[in-house]
C-alpha cells in the first residue's frame, strides 16, 4: 500500500511475510533473527510498532498502517534519510565510506523516473521523494557525508573508500 492508500502490488512483491514468518518461527523455536526497519509514513514494514499512532495521526492511516513489527525501527523525515542515517552509523563503525554521493543520488533518482518510477506521495513522475525536491535530498546527503567525515576525523581516523582515504 502506498502512502496515498493505493495498492502497489503490481510493482512490489510483498515481503511482509518474511518478517511474520520469522516471528512465528521464534515463538516455536525460541530463536529469532534481529529485525530492523526504516519508515516514514506508516505503511512500511516495522511501522507496526507504532500502528495506533499511524491510524490516529497519518492521512489514510487506517488504510495504510502496517501491522508488521520489527525489533528496531528507525523513523526518518523520509525513509531514505533514515536509511542514510543507518548507513552513516555503519560507516562510522567500520571506518568505510558507505554513503553514496549527492551526484549518485541525482543519477539514481532520475533513472528511476526514466524507468517509470513516481514520487510516493504525489504519484508524479518527477525527480522528487515524498514531495521534496531532489536538491533538498542531495543537500541532506551531502551534510550527512560531511558530518560522518568530521566525526571520523575527530576520532583520528579517515574513511576508507574504494582503495582511497577521504579526509
d(CA 112, CA 24): 35
Cα–Cα distance list, 109 to 43, 72, 78, 100 (Å) = 21, 27, 14, 12
Which residue shows C-alpha cell 495521526?
57
The pLDDT score that the predictor gives to residue 17 is: 85
Reported as a single tens digit per residue, the pLDDT across 17-38 is 888 887 788 778 888 788 899 9
Cα–Cα distance list, 28 to 24, 43, 46, 154 (Å) = 7, 28, 21, 46
- What is the value of pTM for the model shown? 0.86
Structure confidence at residue 162 as a pLDDT band (50, 70, 90): low
d(CA 47, CA 63): 13
CA dihedral 6, 131, 47, 33 (to 10 degrees): 100
Q: Read off the C-alpha cell for 78.
A: 523520509
Q: Residue 64's closest CA among 10, 6, 112?
A: 6
Reported as a single tens digit per residue, the pLDDT across 43-91 is 999 999 999 999 999 999 999 999 999 999 999 999 999 999 999 999 9
Q: Read off the C-alpha cell for 142.
A: 551531502
C-beta neighbour count of 56 within 10 angstroms? 11
Reported as a single tens digit per residue, the pLDDT across 148-157 is 999 998 888 7
Q: Residue 22's closest CA among 36, 39, 34, 38?
A: 34
Amino acid at each position: 500500500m502506498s502512502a496515498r492508500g493505493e495498492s502497489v502490488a503490481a510493482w512490489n512483491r510483498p515481503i511482509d511475510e518474511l518478517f511474520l514468518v520469522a516471528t512465528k518461527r521464534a515463538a516455536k523455536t525460541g530463536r529469532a533473527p534481529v529485525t530492523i526497519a526504516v519508515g516514514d509514513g506508516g505503511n512500511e514494514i516495522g511501522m507496526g510498532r507504532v500502528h495506533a499512532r499511524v491510524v490516529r495521526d497519518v492521512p489514510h492511516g487506517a488504510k495504510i498502517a502496517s501491522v508488521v513489527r520489527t525489533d528496531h525501527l528507525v523513523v526518518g523525515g523520509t525513509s531514505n534519510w533514515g536509511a542514510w542515517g543507518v548507513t552513516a552509523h555503519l560507516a562510522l563503525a567500520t571506518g568505510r565510506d558507505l554513503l553514496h554521493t549527492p551526484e549518485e543520488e541525482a543519477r539514481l533518482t532520475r533513472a528511476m523516473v526514466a524507468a517509470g518510477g513516481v514520487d510516493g506521495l504525489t504519484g508524479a513522475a518527477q525527480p522528487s521523494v515524498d514531495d521534496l525536491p531532489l536538491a533538498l535530498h542531495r543537500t541532506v546527503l551531502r551534510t550527512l557525508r560531511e558530518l560522518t567525515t568530521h566525526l571520523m576525523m575527530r576520532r583520528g581516523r579517515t574513511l576508507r573508500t574504494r582503495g582511497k582515504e577521504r579526509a
